[in-house]
Amino acid sequence: MASKQPDRRAFLKRGAALAGGLSLGGVEPALGQTPASDQSDEADDYSTPELIAYGKRSRHVTSVREPVNGRPSPDEFGLVFHIGTPLEEQVGAITPSSLFYSGTTRGSIVPEIDPAEHRLMIHGLVDRELIFTMDELKRFPSVTRLHFIECAGNGSSPRRGRLIESHGMTSCAEWTGVLLSTLLEEAGVQADGTWIVAEGVENVRGASSLPMAKAMDDIIVAYAMNGEPLRPQQGFPLRIVVPGFEGILHVKWLSRIKVVDRFYMTYNDYGHLRQDPDQAALSYQVGPKSVITWPSGGLDLPGAGFYEVRGLAWSGGGVVSRVEVSTDGGENWMDADFRGTPQRMAHTAFSFNWTWDGSEAMLMSRCTDELGQVQPTRAQRKGGLDNSIQPWRVQSNGSVTNGLA
Ligand SMILES: Nc1nc2c(c(=O)[nH]1)N[C@H]1C(S)=C(S)[C@@H](COP(=O)(O)O)O[C@H]1N2
Ligand SMILES: [Mo]
């Protein structure tokens, strides 16, 4: 099945095709969104005490997050809802912290928390109720792992023409914290403790029920992200990261974990998640998924010639073991190359060397994970978070559109 990709020398001979440079459309900030960098002609002075002490990106780099789900953020009351990350500009597996997507379940104002005052309580069906300060948590043995988070609202649709609309609510970071199992062992879980309810400082909105098996396996009580303390929008000073499970379960601004003996219906879970304990673990888990991030809907290719098609693949089932790419709408599939080493429940960057002949093409990617699960087509997909294959149509004039439309 695997066909040979163009080699490096062939690519260099075709380099002329790239000389004109690539023009990207569709990445204008949405109305009402101010780009983080200023666009004035005046050069930035990087020798100011502020920028010596703490840097910022070049004003020539302008990618920004955008509200998604058709909901303004902030809204007229100052509440923020889900904002998506511009994945088409990402290189590699890690999402920069400033561009990490951000989700609040029912709209929220990001809470201002003083870490010196913050406490995590573990209680319920435990031998010892425990209350930790941030400093105490940081004394425990820590883990540092790459994991994606994805909101269940992410999904392909003919109406979602751009990548940020269909896939912008997933990001990947390197998280550091204490395994929840370490803390639960400290507290001593009683025999009937089969579920946990994790809660953020905004109480009912941030609460989620999780099965004990997952809590004892790989949930991280995280205080750091990409080498620095969590960003406030990501849950500063403390959150849980639930590897491979739907985003809503990754409770931010974490203040309480209660060990309980059954699934508890929370404001979050109501009407959204499955509560059958036998089904829960699997149905919370994001299926094998991938998407071509470049080129993607709304972008323009300047003409026929060589392109490195790039994308991301991930699975709640573990390590991504294979990514295939099709340029003809799924008739033929060829293996893509991994960029970096695939990690468990983490975005894996892939690329595929493609020489476009200038005729209409349909780009698709398909992920297989270590469990042998294969990413479904839109017609094959079952329920849960939409992990179906996203087709991008490359028209002969170079414009890229949603292949479902
Ligand atoms: N406390 C709290 N945790 C929360 C939420 C929330 O509103 N409050 N939103 C959830 C949702 S819906 C998602 S998709 C993820 C998003 O995580 P992120 O903002 O770090 O991307 O956080 C989850 N954790
Ligand atoms: Mo979400």
pLDDT digits (tens, 9 = 90+) for 358-392: 999 999 999 999 999 999 999 999 888 999 999 99
pLDDT digits (tens, 9 = 90+) for 224-267: 999 999 999 999 999 999 999 999 999 999 999 999 999 887 76
User: What is the domain range of residue 233?
Assistant: 119-150+172-275
**Judgement on whether residues 264 and 301 belong to the same structural domain of the protein:** no
Q: Report the nearest-CA residue for atom 21 of ligand 1.
A: 102
Backbone phi, psi, residue 317, to 5°: -85, -5
Q: Does 326 reside within a domain? A: yes
* Ligand 1: nearest atom to the Cα of 201: 1
Q: Does 6 reside within a domain? A: no
Ligand 1 center to residue 349 CA distance, Å?
A: 24
Give the CATH number of the domain where residue 371 resides: 2.60.40.650
Which ligand approaches the C-alpha of residue 150 most closely? 1
Q: Could you tell me where the DSSP H helices lie in 200-287?
A: 212-217, 277-284
Which of 97, 104, 239 maximizes ligand 1 atoms within 8 Å of its Cβ, making it the mutation to test the pocket?
104
| pTM listed for this prediction | 0.89
Ligand 1 center to residue 19 CA distance, Å?
A: 43
Residue 132: CB within 6 Å of ligand 1?
no
**Judgement on whether residues 391 and 267 belong to the same structural domain of the protein:** no
**Judgement on whether residues 261 and 217 belong to the same structural domain of the protein:** yes
Cis before 72 (ω within 30):
no
The predicted pLDDT at position 47 comes to: 92
Residue 334: CB atoms within 10 A of its CB come to 16
Confidence class for position 33, pLDDT limits 50, 70, 90: very low
Domain boundary among 226, 251, 275: 275
The set of residues, in sequence order, having a beta carbon less than 8 Å from that of 304 and lying 6+ positions away, is 17, 356, 357, 358
Instruction: Please state, in angstroms and rounded to a whole number, the distance separating the CA atoms of residues 86 and 33.
Output: 14
Query: Residues whose CB is under 5 A from ligand 2 (ion)?
Result: 103, 151, 247-248
Which residue's structure tokens are 């099709």?
Answer: 326
Q: Does 390 reside within a domain? A: yes
Domain boundary among 242, 275, 308: 275
Q: Does 96 reside within a domain? A: no
Domain boundary among 275, 301, 334: 275
**Judgement on whether residues 245 and 389 belong to the same structural domain of the protein:** no
Q: Does 85 reside within a domain? A: no
**Judgement on whether residues 330 and 225 belong to the same structural domain of the protein:** no
Q: Could you tell me where the DSSP H helices lie in 54-179?
A: 134-139, 163-167
Residue 239: CB within 6 Å of ligand 1?
no
**Judgement on whether residues 298 and 241 belong to the same structural domain of the protein:** no
pLDDT digits (tens, 9 = 90+) for 141-200: 999 999 999 999 999 999 999 999 999 999 999 999 999 999 999 999 999 999 999 999
**How many folded domains does the chain comprise?**
2
**Judgement on whether residues 184 and 206 belong to the same structural domain of the protein:** yes
Of the candidates 183, 152, 154, the one whose C-alpha atom is nearest the C-alpha of residue 256 is: 183
Q: Does 240 reside within a domain? A: yes
What is the CA 20 to chain-centroid distance, rounded?
33
Residue 168: CB within 6 Å of ligand 1?
no
Ligand 2 center to residue 64 CA distance, Å?
A: 19
Which ligand approaches the C-alpha of residue 153 most closely? 2
**Judgement on whether residues 314 and 395 belong to the same structural domain of the protein:** yes
Instruction: Please state, in angstroms and rounded to a whole number, the distance separating the CA atoms of residues 390 and 102.
Output: 22
Mean model confidence pLDDT for the chain: 88
pLDDT above 50 for 125: yes
**Judgement on whether residues 302 and 226 belong to the same structural domain of the protein:** no
Q: In this predicted model, which residue has the larger pLDDT, 394 or 80?
A: 394
